[in-house]
């Protein structure tokens, strides 16, 4: 769906009541979660898979895939779609987890240990006659654990296509899938929390008095400035309030361009924070100061303040809400005007309280606007991700199905059988590569995940990368030449990320190079910089596309030469990783002549 243009447009998820089948249909399920459920069934070989997320002390089924029916805990027949939206006790999950065998990310609970609960679903399929046969009461669940160690949900599967309990090899695949699926489910829950926060922020949209229709403090000041000046008899208003990050944000009468001296700003903040606690104010004039003796400390600074602004007296009042000091307002009068009175001071105190509420509301609005923007970006990126994953996985998944069918038709260990096994291996590696790139992209985009700080010898890492890609280069008869300086070249960074960046650069060069050509990998160390250059003589990139190649999921129009193109994440990862390591990526390419990518990093 298109991203929301405002929070009002958000479709905030509603929470259903306990174990009653909801009216939710599979078409309303989050696509990313549904893709996981389908993947478990179709790629891992199960008849039904469900994703459950924690709702307080219950679990709710939020995605399910499977096209057979079974029996619920009451012995009533239910289809897969009827399970969607139902709830069951979190305590039941904990109980079964404690009784299960530890299979890594999964817990297997054999039928003799299972405690059937309100959320149980029992297959009506007949068991096969085998020692390792899957029993209809067997349970296989993978808890989803949050950063705080709490259970955020679980994956559950049933009805293995083979009719048998998973063996060691199948468990390894299940564990890899569960770890990757956990990231997606936790992301779904975070997105759901963002929606809830957006709904809560909707209640903070009311402004006081005539400012109720404005959506920012600047708008309130602009609209109310003339009325305030007339009503309070001020010639100018200068206001400083807490902004994002508790930095003081200044608002002033148009033309009142003045930056307070640091000493005066600190003194004003200290005094007005006390005024807010005491419920008082201060009247200052060039002739006399009525207020705390602290003002005398900076008498010369105060005098410069009056002379700079051409004012004769000032009324200084705190801005706050409840017990929180939020800033101050300085109301100015020019020479020849009456000095501020105590009655005007008391009236201005009320103004400070009003503006305190407006400041908090404006801050809530700013958060709401930023939240709406983040939600829109999250929706856009999620849609791009789903589209890219679906596009990239469709071909290898279809090929897997075709190869599996062909494999079943061949005799074991014959040449056709071996060819199909090799095809399955290639397609599986292709799927794993796409998923690994997506996980790496998610990791390096998360500000909470800072890169590692390991001292790395770059020439050794480049040599390892070329060794790993040697089969690819040999297949196309491409010579990969590594040129390094006489001495070592060190950088500080994350070995996994930098290795991934170098791997993508060389892979790209091999993919778009002609058979029998050469790919050059050059390492230079000069001063405090280390530069890695990967150059090929392949198809090149047009000027129009060079500006887009670093965008996520962008794939150029040039065809790969003897290889398959990736998901369009390679150069995106290269740029993000380089930026995280305070480096620079430069690309130089000409159609028909080749491409040269230079990656420069701070050296040690």
- Whether 397 has a pLDDT exceeding 80, the answer reads no
Which of 80 and 56 is assigned the larger pLDDT?
56
The whole-number average pLDDT for the span 533-550 is 88
Return the pLDDT at 561.
Answer: 52
What's residue 119's pLDDT? 58
pTM for the full predicted model: 0.41
What pLDDT score was predicted for residue 10? 23
What DSSP character marks residue 48?
Answer: E
Q: Is the pLDDT of residue 374 over 50?
A: yes
Residues 78 and 70 sit within 8 Å (Cβ to Cβ): yes
Q: What residue spans in the chain does CATH classification 3.30.450.40 cover?
A: 7-202, 205-363
Residue 134 CA to residue 506 CA, distance in Å, equals: 46
DSSP letter at 56 equals T
Mean pLDDT of 420-426: 76
Record the tokens describing residue 96, joined without a space: 């079964």
In this structure, the strands spanning 518-526 and 479-483 are parallel
Query: Residue range 416-430: average pLDDT?
Result: 76
Say if residues 353 and 318 touch (Cβ distance below 8 Å).
no
End-to-end CA distance of the chain: 48
Beta-ladder partners of 196? none
Q: Provide the edge-to-edge strand list for the sheet that holds 77-79.
A: 77-79, 69-72, 121-123
Residue 46's nearest CA partner among 174, 143, 236, 153 is 174
Q: Which pLDDT value is given to residue 347?
A: 78
Q: Which of 588, 567, 431 is nearest to 511 (CA)?
A: 567
Residue 124: band (very low, low, confident or very high) from pLDDT cuts 50, 70, 90 = low
Token pair of 403 as six digits: 């190869």
For residue 434, give both structure tokens: 């796409």
Residue of higher predicted confidence among 52 and 446: 52
> If you write DSSP's letter for every residue of 551-597 in order, what string do you get?
STT---SSPPSSS----S-HHHHHHHHHHHTT-EEEEEEETTTEEEE
In the prediction, which pLDDT does 370 show? Answer: 75
- More reliable by pLDDT, 535 or 427: 535
What are 160's strand-pairing partners? 46
Averaged pLDDT for residues 124-146: 88
- Residue 559: the pLDDT is 52
Look at residue 23 and tell me whether its pLDDT is greater than 60. no
Q: Any idea which residue has 């999964």 for tokens?
A: 106
59 band by pLDDT with thresholds 50, 70 and 90: very high
User: Between the CA atoms of 160, 161, 166 and 167, what dihedral angle is there, to the nearest 10 degrees?
Assistant: 170
Q: Residue 202's pLDDT is what?
A: 40
Q: What span, in angstroms and rounded, lies between the C-alpha atoms of 479 and 519? A: 6
pLDDT for 188-243, tens place per residue? Answer: 887 776 565 444 334 333 444 555 445 566 676 666 667 667 667 788 888 888 87
Lowest mean pLDDT among 303-312, 494-503, 558-567: 558-567
Assigned token pair, 126: 């007949």
Gyration radius (Cα) of the chain, Å: 33
Structural tokens at position 36: 């996981």
Q: Beta partners for 289?
A: 284
* Range ranked top by mean pLDDT from 131-140, 192-201, 205-214, 336-345: 131-140
Ranges of CATH 3.30.565.10 domains, the chain: 450-602
Q: 205-363: what CATH class?
A: alpha beta
Report pLDDT digits (tens) over 242-288. Answer: 876 666 777 777 777 667 778 888 888 888 999 999 999 988 887 76
Q: Distance between CA 111 and CA 134 in Å, rounded?
A: 9
Least confident among 175-179, 217-221, 241-245, 321-325: 217-221
Quote the pLDDT of residue 77: 63
Q: Which two tokens stand for residue 455?
A: 């001292």
Cα–Cα distance for residue pair 304/309, rounded to 1 Å: 8
For the cut 60, the answer to whether the pLDDT of residue 5 exceeds it is: no
Let me know the angle formed at the C-alpha of 332 by 331 and 336, rounded to the nearest 5 degrees.
145
Query: What is the rounded average pLDDT of the residues 149-161?
Result: 91
| Span of 123-132, 217-226, 512-521 with lowest mean pLDDT | 217-226
Least confident interval from 64-78, 128-142, 200-214: 200-214
Question: By the 8 A CB rule, do 71 and 55 touch?
Answer: no
> Which helix (DSSP H) or strand (DSSP E) does residue 369 occupy?
helix 342-409
Average pLDDT over residues 307-325: 88
Residues in the chain: 604
pLDDT of residue 144: 95
Q: Which of 279, 278, 342 lies closest to 315 in space, CA to CA?
A: 342
Give, to the nearest 10 degrees, the angle between helix 495-511 and helix 415-445: 130
Q: What CATH number has the domain spanning 7-202?
A: 3.30.450.40
DSSP codes joined into one string, 77-143: EEEHHHHTT-EEEHHHHHHHHHHSEEETTEEEE-TTT----TT-EEE-PPPPSSTTBPPTT-EEEEE
Q: What is the pLDDT of residue 575?
A: 92
One-character DSSP codes across 379-406:
HHHHHHHHHHHHHHHHHHHHHHHHHHHH
Listed residue (543, 524, 432) closest to 484, CA to CA: 524
Q: Which two tokens stand for residue 131?
A: 């020692």
Here the tokens at position 409 are: 């038709």
- Which DSSP string corresponds to 166-191? --HHHHHHHHHHHHHHHHHHHHHHHH
C-alpha closest to that of 563 among 520, 507, 518 = 507
Residue with tokens 């020019």: 334
Give me 473's structure tokens: 């280069």
d(CA 357, CA 64): 47
Neighbours of 385 (CB within 10 A): 20
Residue 2: pLDDT band with limits 50, 70, 90: very low
CATH class, range 450-602 = alpha beta
**Which pair of structure tokens corresponds to residue 316?**
């200084």
Cβ atoms within 10 A of the Cβ of 308, count? Answer: 12
Return mean pLDDT, the chain: 79
Which SS3 state, helix, strand or coil, does residue 279 take?
Answer: coil
- Please tell me which residue, 217 or 40, carries the higher pLDDT value: 40
CA 82 to CA 26: how far, in whole Å? 10
Q: What span, in angstroms and rounded, lies between the C-alpha atoms of 330 and 268?
A: 10
Question: Are 353 and 364 contacting, i.e. CB atoms less than 8 angstroms apart?
Answer: no
Give the pLDDT of residue 547.
80
Neighbours of 578 (CB within 10 A): 20
Alpha helices in 202-288 (DSSP H): 217-232, 262-278
Q: Where are the alpha helices (H) located in 202-256, listed in sequence order?
A: 217-232
Q: Which candidate, 55, 359, 372, 373, places its Cα nearest to that of 202? A: 372
Q: What is the mean pLDDT of residues 381-385?
A: 71
- Full DSSP string of 296-331: GGGHHHHHHHHHHHT-SEEEEEEEEETTEEEEEEEE
């Amino acid at each position: 769906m298109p991203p929301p243009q405002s929070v009002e447009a958000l479709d905030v998820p509603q929470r259903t009541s306990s174990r009653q089948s909801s009216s939710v249909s599979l078409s309303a399920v989050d696509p990313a979660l549904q893709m996981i459920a389908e993947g478990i069934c179709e790629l891992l070989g199960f008849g039904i898979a469900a994703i459950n997320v924690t709702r307080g002390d219950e679990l709710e089924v939020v995605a399910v895939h499977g096209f057979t029916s079974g029996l619920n805990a009451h012995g009533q027949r239910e289809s897969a779609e009827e399970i969607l939206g139902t709830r069951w006790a979190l305590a039941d999950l904990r109980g079964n987890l404690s009784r299960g065998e530890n299979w890594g990310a999964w817990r297997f609970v054999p039928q003799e240990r299972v405690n059937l609960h309100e959320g149980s679903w029992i297959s009506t399929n007949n068991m096969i006659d085998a020692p390792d046969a899957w029993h209809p009461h067997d349970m296989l669940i993978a808890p989803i654990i949050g950063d705080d160690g709490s259970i955020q949900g679980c994956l559950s599967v049933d009805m293995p296509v083979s009719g048998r309990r998973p063996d060691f090899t199948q468990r390894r695949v299940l564990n890899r899938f569960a770890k990757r699926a956990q990231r997606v489910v936790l992301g779904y829950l975070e997105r759901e929390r963002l929606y809830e926060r957006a709904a809560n922020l909707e209640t903070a949209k009311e402004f006081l008095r005539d400012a109720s229709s404005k959506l920012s403090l600047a708008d309130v000041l602009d609209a109310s400035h003339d009325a305030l000046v007339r009503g309070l008899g001020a010639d100018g208003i200068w206001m400083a309030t807490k902004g994002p990050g508790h930095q003081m944000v200044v608002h002033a009468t148009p033309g009142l361009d003045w930056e307070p001296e640091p000493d005066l700003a600190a003194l004003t903040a200290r005094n007005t924070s006390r005024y807010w606690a005491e419920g008082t104010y201060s009247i200052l004039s060039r002739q006399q100061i009525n207020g705390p003796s602290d003002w005398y400390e900076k008498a010369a600074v105060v005098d410069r303040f009056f002379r700079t602004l051409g004012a004769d007296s000032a009324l200084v009042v705190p801005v706050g809400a409840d017990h929180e000091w939020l800033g101050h307002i300085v109301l100015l009068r020019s020479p020849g005007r009456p000095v501020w009175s105590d009655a005007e001071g008391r009236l201005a105190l009320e103004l400070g309280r009003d503006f305190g509420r407006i400041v908090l509301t404006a801050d809530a609005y700013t958060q709401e606007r930023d939240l709406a923007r983040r939600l829109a970006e999250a929706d856009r990126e999620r849609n791009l991700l789903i589209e890219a994953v679906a596009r990239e996985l469709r071909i290898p998944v279809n090929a897997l199905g075709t190869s599996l069918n062909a494999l079943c038709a061949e005799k074991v260990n014959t040449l056709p059988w071996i060819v199909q096994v090799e095809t399955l291996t290639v397609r599986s590696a292709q799927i794993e590569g796409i998923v690994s790139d997506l996980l790496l992209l998610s990791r390096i985009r998360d500000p909470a995940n800072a890169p590692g700080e390991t001292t790395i010898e770059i020439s050794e890492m480049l040599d390892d990368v070329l060794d790993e890609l040697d089969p690819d280069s040999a297949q196309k008869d491409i010579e990969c030449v590594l040129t390094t300086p006489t001495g070592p070249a060190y950088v500080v960074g994350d070995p996994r990320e930098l290795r991934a960046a170098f791997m993508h650069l060389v892979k790209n060069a091999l993919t778009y190079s002609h058979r029998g050509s050469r790919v050059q990998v050059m390492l230079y160390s000069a001063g405090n910089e280390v530069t890695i250059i990967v150059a090929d003589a392949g198809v090149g990139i047009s000027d129009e596309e060079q500006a887009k190649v670093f965008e996520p999921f962008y794939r150029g129009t040039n065809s790969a030469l003897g290889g398959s193109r990736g998901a369009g994440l390679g150069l995106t990862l290269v740029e993000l990783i380089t930026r995280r390591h305070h480096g620079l990526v430069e690309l130089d390419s000409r159609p028909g002549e080749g491409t040269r990518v230079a990656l420069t990093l701070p050296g040690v």
